[in-house]
Amino acid sequence: MYTTAFLDLPPLARAGGTVRLPGSKSISNRVLLLAGLAAGTTAVHDLLDSDDTRVMLDALSALGCGLRREGAVLHVTGLGGRLQTRQAALFLGNAGTAMRPLTAALAVLAATQGGCFELSGVPRMHERPIGDLVDALRALGCPVADLGRPGYPPLRVGDGQPVALNLAAPIRVRGDVSSQFLTALLLALPLVATTQDVAIEVDGELISKPYIDITLRLLERFGIAVQREGYARFVIARGAQYRSPGSIHVEGDASSASYFVALGAIAGVDAPVRIEGVGLDSIQGDIRFVEAAQAMGAQVTGGPGWLEIRRGAWPLRAVTLDANHIPDAAMTLASMALYAQGTTRLNNIASWRVKETDRIAAMAAELRKLGSVVDRKS
């Protein structure tokens, strides 16, 4: 077994060429869960292969979904909203995009159909808060038991007996910790909006709004139209029923695109850096990283499914930015700031603290190793 003590990166003055991006993690796991809940078979193209998608696939298989690969295409035969197994222990690694929505979907299904499911992950997952989602599910009437520290995984949803849910009152959820809590409810509640409208109301300012836009766009692809009042109230109309679109493509990951946008902005001197798989037509909020890069001086052109980036202003220009709309991609701006003249300020990034690691602390530590002055303000 070989280990790498260090990675020596020689100085490079120029970059150019073409890169094709892997599928979006956020879209991949949403599509997998939607396909798993829907009736019929969905052909999923360009699915990301990652730890997060693998644990979601393992969970869907354990729940009775049919999974069949045909070359690069995955065919998912869904449950049609009906549990095939009523008891399972699911290990979800460190995948927030699996833990939060599966908790909600299985809590609703277990409550209405009499199931019992345990959801756990790696130690770091057991440090990531889920209490606001649990509170919303309990208010709905779903039995949810803490198997460890209250407000954090591991959890048990359902107790094996069907219960009546309280769907008459709006389900309330906080929006200022993670948008994944709202996404989880939006994905789960169509399962029980059969005879009446179901409303969700958000307490506080919703962070990471573009990820909710992704959720709503994908729900529409699977037959669910959601009425909303801004980002404060969402209504799923009675008669909701998940339907497979037959075939769906996963966009390239816009967060990953930010690295190559930055590369072009810094070193695309003689030729552009071309990115394929995601373009200006992307449904992902992180595509707006392009606007931030342009503000720092990058030259960007693009179209459906592609982008090209060249160096423009040099050195780059410092910016002050509310990064709530690009929470993942904003970390790349912190690296670009090393090449900018002046002080770059990134605001509204508190959600970084509840990711796979404390991203604020990690970015500050690594940037300081390169000689940068980093000031953290709460």
Distance CA 291, CA 285 (A): 11
The DSSP 8-state label assigned to residue 61 in this structure reads H
From 50, 36, 75, 78, select the one nearest 248 (Cα to Cα).
75
- Burial of 328 from C-beta contacts in 10 A (0-12 / 13-18 / 19+): buried
- Burial of 183 from C-beta contacts in 10 A (0-12 / 13-18 / 19+): buried
Distance CA 81, CA 103 (A): 15
Residue 179 and residue 208 in contact, taking contact as beta carbons nearer than 8 Å:
yes
Distance CA 225, CA 237 (A): 7
3-state secondary structure labels for all residues of 127-188: HCCCHHHHHHHHHHCCCEEECCCCCCCCEEECCCCCCCCCCCCCEEEECCCCHHHHHHHHHH
CA angle centred on 334, ends 329 and 336, rounded to 5° = 95
Distance CA 106, CA 109 (A): 5
Catalytic, out of 159, 328, 358, 375: 328
The DSSP bridge pattern shows strands 273-276 and 17-20 to be parallel
Beta-bridge partners for 42: 76
Is residue 328 among the annotated active site residues?
yes
**Lookup: tokens for 267:** 């070193």
Q: Which residue's structure tokens are 């990034």?
A: 349
Q: Residue 124 — φ and ψ, nearest 5°?
A: -65, -35
Angle between helices 131-140 and 96-113 (to 10 degrees): 20
Q: Which residues are designated catalytic?
A: 328
